[in-house]
């Protein structure tokens, strides 16, 4: 195994779960195989399949695993914000977003942590040189690419994979962003946080990853989540363009 990045010792990986009982043990094992010193926080939204109880069992035998129980499924964004708050209350210098379903390879995380030395937010990108998607239905990949193109155009950013859900934040970024203002729940949560990071003046870099479609369970994507993203990004983009126009008029 390659040398573990120094940042790993002060890194928290936030893993939201809802009915991920079969996926959770292997993803945690792979995470600690790749980065033995990182800590993981499982944020479980009251999974009826017993994911939360299993997470408790795993945490009881490993001091690097922690569990945050939430009473009900309230959306990916709310789960991540709860995880961010938990991490910020402690001494972690970097906080990671990672899915429980195996689509994000923990083996890619060491390179992402290394890139954090020159950035404030590191995105694990499918759409930069070296990035790839494995076993994803063509329709889903097309939807993802169109969503990224739409977001780049509406917001005027150069990020290739602004919807990426595998990412690493410096704690200073999350401390500066007003987490109370974040209402995005699903797919657009990732766009929202990246956009806020850019507009706050932080440096964002993309690192190529291999994204693999989940082998067990079902995707949480829905039509309402997609509609939320389309409408929200359109509003943010319009506000941004209007702000630019007003600045030009004042000159």
Query: Is 2 contained in some domain?
Result: no
For the question of whether the overall pTM of this predicted structure is more than 0.85, the answer is: yes
Q: 162 in a domain, yes or no? A: yes
Q: Is residue 243 part of a domain?
A: yes
Within-domain flag for 170: yes
Q: Is residue 103 part of a domain?
A: yes
Range of the domain at 46: 7-250
Tell me the C-alpha distance between 148 and 140, whole Å.
12
In a domain, 240, yes or no: yes
Number of domains observed in the structure of the chain? 1
- Strand-pair partners of 67: 42
pLDDT in tens, the chain (251 residues): 567 887 788 999 999 999 999 999 999 999 999 999 999 999 999 999 999 999 999 999 999 999 999 988 778 899 999 999 999 999 899 999 999 999 999 999 999 999 999 999 999 999 999 999 999 889 889 888 988 998 888 888 999 999 999 999 999 999 999 898 887 766 688 999 999 999 999 999 999 999 999 766 555 544 555 666 666 666 666 675 656 556 667 66
Residue 1 falls inside a structural domain: no
The three-state secondary structure class of 119 is coil
Judge whether 36 and 106 are in contact, CB under 8 Å.
no
User: Is residue 11 included in any domain, yes or no?
Assistant: yes
The two three-digit tokens of residue 241, written as one number: 């363009």
* Alpha-carbon distances, residue 74 vs 88, 104, 145, 174 (angstroms): 21, 22, 26, 20
CATH number for the domain spanning 45: value is 3.90.550.10
The secondary element (H helix, E strand) that includes residue 146 is helix 138-155
């Amino acid at each position: 195994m390659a040398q573990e990045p120094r940042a790993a010792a002060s890194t928290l990986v936030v893993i939201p779960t809802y009915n991920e009982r079969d996926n959770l043990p292997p993803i945690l094992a792979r995470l600690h195989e790749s980065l033995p010193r990182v800590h993981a926080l499982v944020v479980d939204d009251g999974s009826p399949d017993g994911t939360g109880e299993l997470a408790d069992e795993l945490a009881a035998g490993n001091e690097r695993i922690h569990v945050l129980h939430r009473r009900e499924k309230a959306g990916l964004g709310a789960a991540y914000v709860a995880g961010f708050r938990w991490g910020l209350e402690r001494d972690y210098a970097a906080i990671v977003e990672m899915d429980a379903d195996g689509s994000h390879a923990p083996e890619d995380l060491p390179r992402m942590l290394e890139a954090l030395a020159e950035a404030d937010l590191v995105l694990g990108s499918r759409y930069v040189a070296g990035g790839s998607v494995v076993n994803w239905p063509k329709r889903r990949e097309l939807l993802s690419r169109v969503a990224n193109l739409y977001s780049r155009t509406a917001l005027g950013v150069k990020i290739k994979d602004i919807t990426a859900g595998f990412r690493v934040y410096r704690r200073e970024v999350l401390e500066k962003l007003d987490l109370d203002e974040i209402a995005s729940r699903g797919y657009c949560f990732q766009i929202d946080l990246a956009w806020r990071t850019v507009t706050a003046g932080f440096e964002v870099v993309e690192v190529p990853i291999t994204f693999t479609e989940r082998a067990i369970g079902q995707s949480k994507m829905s039509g309402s989540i997609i509609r939320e993203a389309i409408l929200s990004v359109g509003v943010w983009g319009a506000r941004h363009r209007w702000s630019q126009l007003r600045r030009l008029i004042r000159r």
